[in-house]
Amino acid sequence: MRKFKAGIIGCGNIFEMHAKALAKLELVDLVAVCDSDQQRVRLAGQHYDCQDFTDYRRMFKEATLDVLHICLPHYLHEEVTVAAAKAGIHVLTEKPMAITVESAERMLMAAREAQIELGVIFQNRYNSGAMTLKSLIQEGALGKVLSGKCQVTWSRDETYYSQSDWKGTWEKEGGGVVIDQAIHTLDLINWLTGGQPKLIDATIGNRFHDTIEVEDFAEGIIQYQEGYTLSFFANNYYSFDAPVCIEIHTELAVATITGARLEIVYFDGRPTLVKDIPAEDYLENGIASKTYWGTGHITQIDEFYQHLNGTADFLVSGIEALKTQKIVAGIYQSAKLNKPVWMI
């Protein structure tokens, strides 16, 4: 059995989600880590028994990588993806794909020209409840989608921003609660309903954080070519990280996802369908240090390597992730112009 050689660039908060997943998968060996912080990367290298680097270009030359996992600040995703593509290295990057649509498209072009695979982490699609609901909607078992709504109310205090030199800035983070926190939920509800956005009307603002440039609040609607409308609300000044809420109203039922729990109430009196991630799964996987991250990282990362091995399709390619990037861009554009924007 061939084993892929993987490297991770960025040893910050999300690093462990990738490193622990790679340590559990049979198809891959983690052979190198990279970070500009010498002490942090050295500790990571020692813990996972692999090479450590402070320069990714040197890592590309000396570690002979097949795959690079990007866990960097948003504004660096394009630069490192393009460099990896030129080196013939497949890329799996954390969300967001980039900070602009144009940047994301350049990443896709580099991947296409180099004939490498480019994937983007949206792990919540892989929760069992989300997968069940997607199948039911796709099969037509719930009838047509009539409308939907989603809500993200989390907590990001001033310390969250003051400890970083890039968060809270338009130039390096690309936005605030929309591109960093709510993006997962926007991606999920767009994927679940499966339509084509045609118009976005949104408002954003900063109501609580005095020290940042970007928004900590957003609300709006997305109208779809198929005739339904999704509404969204997000802020990151709540008192705790409340479970994300998604509700989809169809002809035959109302489906609700709260956190990772799916509940479908049918209008014809059939028993309510309930599907959830068992609490022990978080412990068994040993990966999700924050429950709202779910347990999907290892499933998505495994699927990426199965895809490289020729044994599976990959759900969130760069082309697929571009759809979510365009929604995020549409929200910001509508809010900036203070009017609806057309997506087609």
Q: Among positive and negative, which fits the CA dihedral 324, 330, 335, 341?
A: negative
What is the residue-averaged pLDDT of the chain?
95
Q: Which pLDDT score, from 0 to 100, does residue 2 have?
A: 78
- Model confidence at 289, pLDDT cuts 50, 70, 90, reads low
Average pLDDT for residues 47-59, to the nearest whole number? 98
Average pLDDT for residues 71-100, to the nearest whole number? 98
330 pLDDT above the threshold of 80: yes
Residues of the chain with CATH 3.40.50.720: 4-123
Q: State the CATH architecture for 125-291+317-342.
A: 2-Layer Sandwich (3.30)
- Model confidence at 247, pLDDT cuts 50, 70, 90, reads very high
Rounded Cα gap, residues 36 and 157, in angstroms: 25
Residues of the chain with CATH 3.30.360.10: 125-291+317-342
Q: In degrees rounded to 5, what are phi and psi of residue 242?
A: -70, 150
287 pLDDT above the threshold of 60: no
Q: Which pLDDT score, from 0 to 100, does residue 277 have?
A: 74
286 pLDDT above the threshold of 70: no
Pairing of strands 273-275, 261-266: antiparallel
Average pLDDT for residues 91-117, to the nearest whole number? 98
Condensed to tens digits (0 to 9), the pLDDT of residues 248-269 reads: 999 999 999 999 999 999 999 9
Q: Which pLDDT score, from 0 to 100, does residue 31 have?
A: 98
Rounded Cα gap, residues 82 and 79, in angstroms: 5
Average pLDDT for residues 225-242, to the nearest whole number? 98
291 pLDDT above the threshold of 60: no
224 three-state secondary structure: strand
Rounded Cα gap, residues 312 and 146, in angstroms: 32
Q: For residue 167, how many C-alpha atoms fall within 13 Å in the half-sphere facing its CB?
A: 16
Helix (H) or strand (E) holding 316: none
CB 218 within 8 A of CB 331: yes
Measuring CA to CA, how many Å separate 145 from each of 77, 87, 196, 276, 316? 34, 44, 13, 22, 22
140 three-state secondary structure: coil
Q: Is 42 exposed, middle or buried (0-12, 13-18, 19+ CB in 10 A)?
A: middle
165 pLDDT above the threshold of 70: yes
- Count CB neighbours of 46 within 10 A: 11
Q: Which pLDDT score, from 0 to 100, does residue 174 have?
A: 98
Average pLDDT for residues 84-91, to the nearest whole number? 98
- Model confidence at 282, pLDDT cuts 50, 70, 90, reads low
Measuring CA to CA, how many Å separate 312 from each of 16, 44, 300, 302? 25, 30, 11, 10
Rounded Cα gap, residues 49 and 63, in angstroms: 13
Q: Is 195 exposed, middle or buried (0-12, 13-18, 19+ CB in 10 A)?
A: middle
236 pLDDT above the threshold of 90: yes
- Calculate what percentage of the chain has a pLDDT beyond 70: 95
- Calculate what percentage of the chain has a pLDDT beyond 90: 93
Residue 96: asked if its preceding bond is cis (omega within 30°), the reply is yes
- Model confidence at 276, pLDDT cuts 50, 70, 90, reads confident
42 pLDDT above the threshold of 70: yes
- Model confidence at 23, pLDDT cuts 50, 70, 90, reads very high
The least confident of 19-23, 194-198, 292-296 is 292-296
Q: Among positive and negative, which fits the CA dihedral 175, 180, 186, 192?
A: positive
Average pLDDT for residues 146-166, to the nearest whole number? 96
Average pLDDT for residues 89-107, to the nearest whole number? 98
280 pLDDT above the threshold of 70: no
Please enumerate in sequence order all residues whose Cβ is within 8 A of that of 310, keeping only pairs 6 or more positions apart, or say none.
Answer: none
261 three-state secondary structure: strand
Average pLDDT for residues 28-43, to the nearest whole number? 98
Considering the domain 4-123 in this protein, what is its CATH number? 3.40.50.720
Q: Among positive and negative, which fits the CA dihedral 166, 182, 122, 24?
A: positive
135 pLDDT above the threshold of 90: yes
Tokens of 240: 């705790």
